[in-house]
Structure 1
């Protein structure tokens, strides 16, 4: 684990257990029907490692981001679908997936049980916020997938399993209809043409919709200048609200927590105070003293907040990023996926598409990750205006699991590629 991952992990681990961001079990159970994750100590360790993977993958993707583009990822979506793949991997391939996803020290049973708990309980934590998680496996109808592989992913990941005639021109539509349905239409496709050597798709879809706890009044929305990463100004719609929020504001960082619904989920937004480049700003989280100062600075203050509305889509093939995290063997003819089938297989691509819209009402976000398997061969009013590039995350506050991470360099861009 590198120092950057350690320090960022430490910061969000503190947030996860702090009074600011975490509710007592009694508070969580106040509303009838609400569930609690009730993680074991070892599962809490796995959750921390999931968040570590989040920032490792996010930072790898940032290195490839085209200048001026926005980025949005759901590393938990990638984790879930790669965990399903892990159930079909053996030997070095299994170890490589486990290393990238921080599975070392956990048995297969512990990993699968952990993700099963997330899938079953996380969507039910806040009745006023929508979170849907769905998994599926689609395979070529003549392909002899091992029943043990399919069964374990049905059982633990609630995966829908279907055999399709991949030669039928309607096969991509069948898969894409499932994707569209499970992202409320926000991501209509994940599969284009199906190549002759493709034998299986493993897919995760995650959909989030939350209304702000403190809603913005659309009548206060007005045009202001947002300074793009290239220095140019963009006139765009800024939402405005004056309420009490948890904020941090010092010489290095400005940040705010924006809760959704009952406060079980929040968006955290961070921006450098000075002229630091956004990528360089994120690197500052490598300094534990900097992290401590950020956390100690959070307090509830009357705040006049201005933040741009934004809506954009992002897509990226994550092969390169995952290779740099140690999963290169998975994409080579040395891959051992014999737990899936007796044929020689490899992963041809790991593709993720994501969508987000932030407006006066709240946030709607969705992500789909597809793995293609082929034969191988205080009383003072504080002013906070996010008028330059910033990054954000959406997370569940009781356990601290991060669902989405992103960065906005240009709020006017709706289509973005890595």
Structure 2
């Protein structure tokens, strides 16, 4: 009897937890490969393909969506290191790799460069990594383990999956890497598990322009035409980066974290009642994010952003199968680069959390302005009081770390 189970666990935790902004010197960044923008385009295109597949799933429709496409594409790239034949081709095609643009070896090297660069960042607290748990009776090929460590900074552990202590150690590892945000990442393990691949990303950012808690008020959030919920709405009237995307008939707000990363929020224009969040999410692409980075301009605006605390969890098996990566979940799986034993992937899971609030901004100066321009502009006020999209991106290279849609800010899921 074959014991051929591999678990994938992808944890993504955006702890957007703003505190009072203080001046911080930005260290010079190491020069990444000239081809790095090509990898980021590939990853970001994958992000939108994954999102659109996700929102098509019946169980996730009309739900909050939040995930880290970067961590998913990274784990699939890691798997391709040990895959062969059709399984490898499906993985590479699924993540959007084009061999005429760069080779698989270059792809792994670019992931390495990107991880090295992210590790050097100042101004935000970001932690990205991989852990590989290998059963003590399972013989993983040394070359695969070495490549995982070389390219993806993977930590390796030899464990006995049949004892509860292993589960406890794995949960403690995730708890430490996510700074206590996830205390119970793994609920149970099957005793015939051979290997467990865990990829995590933790992000904690400080607003450049913090919100003042004294201006937060309870308001109504319009979930849909029939449903409203009360939310705590943060408010600012400042010079902020905004843009009106006429093609998408949507208002875009860019909030920066210490001049390093940004959060983009996009909401359909309420004046165009024929346009909904569904229209926005189906039309949006990587190119729009790149355009927004160039197009946003500072202007004095009123913004209203809800406080959020979301938790999401997704089974990726059917989603990845729907993106053409089916063989790895079946007896057709070819992971001969990982082990001489026949193995397949039993489960691919993704969990993410998002917290947005104004904690720590009490000491910030409050600016009240009595006189405001009266001329009409679609960008005079940006109210995120109806479903909107959310992206956390790298200001330097537009790499999308997190991606989502807020339908109901008080739904914990």
TM range (shorter): 0.7 to 0.9
What TM-score comes out, normalization by structure 2 length? 0.84
Identify the residue that residue 66 of structure 1 maps to in structure 2: 60
Tell me whether 1:33 sits opposite 2:33 in the alignment.
Answer: no
TM-align CA RMSD: 2.5
Q: Secondary structure at the match of 1:202?
A: strand
Which secondary structure does the structure 1 equivalent of 2:234 belong to?
strand
Aligned length: 368
Q: What displacement does 1:83 show?
A: 1.6
User: 2: distance between equivalents of 1:407 and 1:278?
Assistant: 9
CA distance in 2, matches of 1:311, 1:287: 26
Matching residue of 1:186? 181
Counterpart of 1:11? none
Mapping for residues 299-378 of structure 1, pairs under 5 Å: 299-361=297-359
Corresponding residue for 1:53?
46
Distance in 1, matches of 2:30 and 2:219, equals 42
Aligned to 1:260: 257
Distance in 1, matches of 2:285 and 2:165, equals 49
SS at match of 1:104: coil
Structure 2: distance between partners of 1:292 and 1:260: 18
Match for residue 207 of structure 1 among 193, 199, 202: 202
User: Are 2:94 and 2:325, in contact at CA under 8 Å, matched by a contact in 1?
Assistant: yes
Report the equivalent of 1:112: 108
1:37 CA drift (Å): 4.8
The 5 A counterparts of 1:376-415 are 382-415=380-413
Q: Secondary structure, in 3 states, of the residue corresponding to 2:43?
A: helix
Range moving further from structure 2, 179-188 or 397-406: 179-188
In 2, the alpha carbon distance for the partners of 1:109 and 1:285 equals 31
Structure 2 residue runs without a partner (length 5+): 1-23, 361-371
Q: Does 1:132 align with 2:117?
A: no
Matched, 1:235 2:230: yes
SS in 1 for 2:198: strand
Contact kept? 2:48, 2:286, Cα under 8 Å: no
1:147-204: per-residue Cα shift (whole Å, max 9, x none)?
A: 1111110111111101101111221111111111111121223322221332101111
Q: Which has the higher helix share?
A: 1
For residues 287 and 395 of structure 1, the distance between their equivalents in structure 2, rounded to whole angstroms, comes to: 11
Counterpart Cα distance in 2 of 1:235 and 1:150:
50
Q: Which residue of 2 aligns with 1:279?
A: 278
Question: What is the distance in 1 between the residues matched to 2:277 and 2:134?
Answer: 42
Aligned to 2:265: 269
SS at match of 1:326: coil
8 Å CA contact 1:395, 1:401 repeated in 2: yes
On the 8 A contact 1:245/1:300 being kept in 2, the answer is yes
Change (3 A) 1:357 1:339: same
Taking the aligned partners of 2:346 and 2:303, their CA distance within structure 1 comes to 45
Q: Which has the higher contact order (CA 8 A, sep 6+)?
A: 2
Q: Secondary structure at 1:360's aligned position in 2?
A: coil
1:245 corresponds to: 240
